[in-house]
Chains A and B, each alone.
Chain A
């Protein structure tokens, strides 16, 4: 029998939703714990290891120097680093503030713990190399399981690259965009089975930009302008989960997420 993979689940600044998504595989989690060696998981384990790891799944955004130190330490500790969830992959909601009116934050004054200082919130690949990405806020818990299984089998994890509209149409949902709602499905990476639009909610773009789409960020802005949503509204929406990606793609003119 081959040796079990040594795996760690960690979080930096975030909401713990991704780590919960791992545990919320209620029927499978004990089986997972048999297949891999979960040696670190501070959220649910008292003791963690400093030994080298095969894989680390990391939730959260780099928002202060404490996060950055943790991130660098974890990167050095593991062969494979998986950025899990929107905060880690695209900056998520915490990174939205980089793209908003700085006046909004002027009165929010705060004293930090000694030695703690803010860093403008950024996805982890701004600082270290990331091997794989699991997108979404929250990430699909079955997708996390799938990636773990791929590692166990020595397979390369698959990353969905088509827009949300593909799955949404397959599910025979009425098109919310056609109904005049500000749906970001056309520019957003699918793989979520269109869970929001299945439930009547427009896509907010939580899985970041789709690489295989014909609709550009600028076209999305003009499309929604026609529907009565001004540019600020649409940009705010696009920036709610993936501001850094949209900014870079707009600057480079290339549709290459995580490049």
Chain B
């Protein structure tokens, strides 16, 4: 007899998604569809015809949890289009608010969305009754992340002071010192996080895939660098379109992205796999002390990779802040001209791409935004499909719970994934997309 599993709301993920499975009498998987049911918001269409300096404010609204990331990527792309070169201080301050967001996003996922799965709790609030210390440590780190963003970008959600060419507002020196002190105070909590997440009973589910991230020589990447794939390819960010293809699946309102016709992974585990040698000393030591090795193919270990990144980025922020004297700089003025710019940065869930074309009046004529979850979606489906045989013995309810845990490990953001691809009706991109589907 065949069985059908319909999970109408995947809980404890950002945004709205459902899962449809159909498993045949001989245990063949007839259907495995992870559907985003988020309404389509057409951000790329809304950006058309707007002034170049409006892009970051509007595209920030794509996502609450990674609004800083959208602002930073959007600004980077526009600055490239207009050849704006920013000061070293601007780069440092941008890194800091991006790291603040990284900390709060990872910690929210680790403790509130993922950890309850491993400690037998229904939610993070439920967890607070049995593991209050851990929940308080998590809230403290989330607050740290938010405080960093407030100090360097003005507001924790949908930041306000970052702009093209620099910043509209600067933190006072007391604020800078306070953030540094708070980072030092929270570092032990982050270390405890790595130890906790190293000790969880993860499913052993190695699954080979392509891991894609930015790469920088001698440095764990954040906002600069080349694109890198674990197959060994390295290329500049302008070539994103040549290596990655977007297409739609008829069953989802989100986009799918493939590399060489195959799914690939972005995010904390992909970054760790490609860059673990460049972790800062404490993070590196903690990995060594754990019995988890990188590179690693197990997607259940994404929360562990996030825990390590939290320590790494706290270390990197402490380095940036030691001795930092913030000067009030006037943002570098952009000279309006026609151009095209691609900005790719590493955000909590992986590579985020913003691309804009601007005309000689400064109006945006084309916008393309590729989010991490759009890139991971195809891989998530493939991973679920391959995972099902190991949980087939379970009844539908339990099987659903196990698959939901796998989905949650990926830290998907379905708000973000719901974005539109500009379909070229000549069929160039479409044809490639359908080709790539056949390949699989």
Verify A104–B46 contact, CB threshold 8 A.
yes
Contact with B along A46-70 (1 / 0, CB 8 A): 1110000000000001111011000
Verify B42–A97 contact, CB threshold 8 A.
yes
In the bound complex, CA of A14 to CA of B62 (Å): 8
Verify B123–A63 contact, CB threshold 8 A.
no
User: In the complex, which residues of chain B have a beta carbon less than 8 angstroms from the beta carbon of A19?
Assistant: 64
Verify B41–A121 contact, CB threshold 8 A.
yes
Judge if A233 is at the interface, Cβ distance under 8 Å: yes
Chain B residue with the shortest CB-CB distance to A229: B51
With beta carbons under 8 angstroms apart, the residue of A15, A18, A41, A63 that contacts B40 is A63
Verify B41–A201 contact, CB threshold 8 A.
no
Nearest-neighbour CB distance to chain B for A193, whole angstroms, equals 11
With beta carbons under 8 angstroms apart, the residue of B54, B125, B163, B248 that contacts A110 is B248
Chain A residue with the shortest CB-CB distance to B13: A43
Judge if A226 is at the interface, Cβ distance under 8 Å: no
Verify B48–A64 contact, CB threshold 8 A.
no
In the bound complex, CA of A187 to CA of B413 (Å): 34
In the bound complex, CA of A175 to CA of B205 (Å): 58
Judge if A196 is at the interface, Cβ distance under 8 Å: yes
In the bound complex, CA of A112 to CA of B249 (Å): 9
Verify B168–A47 contact, CB threshold 8 A.
no
Verify A46–B122 contact, CB threshold 8 A.
yes
Verify A111–B140 contact, CB threshold 8 A.
no
Known contacts A47-B122, A92-B61, A11 near B51 by CB under 8 Å: no
Which one of B153-161, B187-195, B298-306, B347-355 is at the interface?
A: B153-161
User: In the complex, which residues of chain B have a beta carbon less than 8 angstroms from the beta carbon of A61?
Assistant: 39
In the bound complex, CA of A23 to CA of B136 (Å): 13
Which one of B21-29, B108-116, B267-275, B333-341 is at the interface?
A: B108-116
Verify B12–A17 contact, CB threshold 8 A.
no
Count how many chain B residues have C-beta atoms less than 8 Å from C-beta atoms of the other chain. Answer: 76
Verify B113–A24 contact, CB threshold 8 A.
no
With beta carbons under 8 angstroms apart, the residue of B38, B65, B135 that contacts A20 is B65
User: In the complex, which residues of chain A have a beta carbon less than 8 angstroms from the beta carbon of B250?
Assistant: 111
Contact with B along A217-258 (1 / 0, CB 8 A): 000000000000000010011001000000000000000000
User: In the complex, which residues of chain B have a beta carbon less than 8 angstroms from the beta carbon of A18?
Assistant: 64
Chain B residue with the shortest CB-CB distance to A199: B154
Verify A44–B113 contact, CB threshold 8 A.
yes
Verify A15–B63 contact, CB threshold 8 A.
yes
Judge if B409 is at the interface, Cβ distance under 8 Å: no
User: In the complex, which residues of chain A have a beta carbon less than 8 angstroms from the beta carbon of B14?
Assistant: 16, 43
Verify A13–B12 contact, CB threshold 8 A.
no
Verify A200–B156 contact, CB threshold 8 A.
no
Which one of B209-217, B375-383, B420-428 is at the interface?
A: B420-428
Verify B49–A101 contact, CB threshold 8 A.
yes
User: In the complex, which residues of chain B have a beta carbon less than 8 angstroms from the beta carbon of A97?
Assistant: 41-42, 45-46
Tier of interface size on chain A: 35 or more
Verify A30–B45 contact, CB threshold 8 A.
no
Nearest-neighbour CB distance to chain A for B133, whole angstroms, equals 12
Chain B residue with the shortest CB-CB distance to A232: B49
Verify B11–A108 contact, CB threshold 8 A.
no
Verify B39–A16 contact, CB threshold 8 A.
no
Chain A residue with the shortest CB-CB distance to B413: A16
User: In the complex, which residues of chain B have a beta carbon less than 8 angstroms from the beta carbon of A105?
Assistant: 42, 45
* A24, A48, A101: most-surrounded residue (chain B CB, <10 A): A24
In the bound complex, CA of A61 to CA of B425 (Å): 30
Contact with B along A117-161 (1 / 0, CB 8 A): 011010000000000000001100100000000000000000000
User: In the complex, which residues of chain B have a beta carbon less than 8 angstroms from the beta carbon of A118?
Assistant: 39-40
Judge if B230 is at the interface, Cβ distance under 8 Å: no
Known contacts A42-B9, A43-B12, A113-B35, A108 near B41 by CB under 8 Å: no
In the bound complex, CA of A66 to CA of B38 (Å): 8
In the bound complex, CA of A48 to CA of B10 (Å): 12
Verify A15–B124 contact, CB threshold 8 A.
no
Verify B15–A16 contact, CB threshold 8 A.
yes
Verify B157–A24 contact, CB threshold 8 A.
yes
Judge if A38 is at the interface, Cβ distance under 8 Å: yes
Verify B108–A23 contact, CB threshold 8 A.
yes
Verify A17–B40 contact, CB threshold 8 A.
no
Judge if B85 is at the interface, Cβ distance under 8 Å: no
In the bound complex, CA of A21 to CA of B104 (Å): 12
Chain B residue with the shortest CB-CB distance to A15: B64
Chain A residue with the shortest CB-CB distance to B113: A44
Chain B residue with the shortest CB-CB distance to A20: B64
17 contacts between A and B (CB under 8 A): A15-B63, A17-B158, A18-B64, A19-B64, A26-B146, A43-B12, A100-B49, A108-B45, A110-B420, A111-B250, A111-B251, A137-B61, A137-B158, A138-B64, A199-B154, A200-B167, A201-B57
Contacts A23-B142, A196-B154, A236-B49 aside, 10 further interface pairs with beta carbons under 8 A come to A17-B64, A20-B64, A24-B104, A44-B12, A45-B122, A101-B49, A113-B37, A121-B41, A200-B168, A201-B161
Top 8 A-B residue pairs of the complex, sorted by shortest distance between their CB atoms: A17-B64, A63-B39, A200-B168, A13-B39, A199-B154, A26-B143, A138-B157, A108-B420
Q: Which residues of B contact A (CB under 8 A)?
A: 9, 11-16, 35-46, 48-51, 54, 57-58, 61-65, 67, 104, 108, 112-113, 116, 122-126, 128, 135-136, 139-140, 142-143, 146, 154-158, 160-161, 163, 167-169, 248-253, 413, 415, 418, 420-425
